[in-house]
Amino acid sequence: MNENLFTPFMTPTILGLPAVVPIILFPTLLFPTSKHLISNRLIIIQQNLIQLIMKQMMTIHNTKGQTWSLMLMSLIIFIATTNLLGLLPHSFTPTTQLSMNLAMAIPLWAGTVITGLRFKTKNSLAHFLPQGTPTPLIPMLVVIETISLFIQPVALAVRLTANITAGHLLMHLIGSATLALLTASFLATSLTLVLLVLLTILEMAVALIQAYVFTLLVSLYLHDNT
């Protein structure tokens, strides 16, 4: 167990070079593809899950919004797999890095905003000034709505970073406590071990939920602009 609490969040290196790119590309190797006419059970389950998520996420979109389906499905699969792989011992979770989450959130958010300005210009600009606003409040509301618009990608990135980082820190602390109590009390060690197992199961659920929430919010931003 590392003594430094934040050591697991440091970017790993190979021969002095950052190993982030191989780690990011690794999840793509975990999804099998079939070259046969009849797929096996694993691929069938994978395809059914993808179709279920896509159907649930794309029902609110029109034809223009449905063109983003491949992007959104790739996003949720990438975030979910990297979150789950980060729960393995001595592994690195890219989604604990705010810089990476911003690199995902800002282009997607900007794409939805540009799409809205291009195809629904009046409706997009109307969001800055709600109907029936008193004249003295117009400048203040425009500034507030502008700030709320630009804070959306930051909120996306911070939400994902905070949830994944908090879970990893809690698992690290409880794991350290379990090792420390190993020679002191068998009962206390058993209780903390059970707590660690339950927390690990919870973190697996959080990893999937956060991937879904991140993608769903991007989908809602897209729905508002198409």
Amino acid at 55: K
C-alpha closest to that of 219 among 101, 98, 112, 147: 112
Residue pLDDT, tens place only, 12-51: 666 666 667 777 777 777 766 666 666 677 777 877 888 8
Is 3 among the domain residues? Answer: no
Is 107's pLDDT higher than 90? yes
Structural domain harbouring 158: 39-225
Is 190 among the domain residues? Answer: yes
| Average confidence (pLDDT) over 97-113 | 90
| Rounded Cα gap, residues 218 and 213, in angstroms | 9
Q: Who's near 60: CB < 8 A, 6+ residues apart?
A: 219, 223
Is 113 among the domain residues? Answer: yes
Is 193 among the domain residues? Answer: yes
Q: Structural domain tally of the chain?
A: 1
What pLDDT score was predicted for residue 1? Answer: 46
Q: What angle do CA 216, 54, 78 make, to 5 degrees?
A: 65
Is 128 among the domain residues? Answer: yes
Is 23 among the domain residues? Answer: no
Q: What is the mean pLDDT of the chain?
A: 82
Q: Which of 51-60, 123-132, 152-161 has the lowest mean pLDDT?
A: 123-132
Residue pLDDT, tens place only, 201-218: 999 999 999 999 999 999
Is 6 among the domain residues? Answer: no
Is 94 among the domain residues? Answer: yes
Q: Which of 30-34, 69-73, 82-86, 211-215 has the lowest mean pLDDT?
A: 30-34
C-alpha closest to that of 53 among 160, 211, 206: 211
| Rounded Cα gap, residues 220 and 113, in angstroms | 12
| Rounded Cα gap, residues 33 and 96, in angstroms | 29
* Residue with the larger pLDDT of the pair 35 and 83: 83
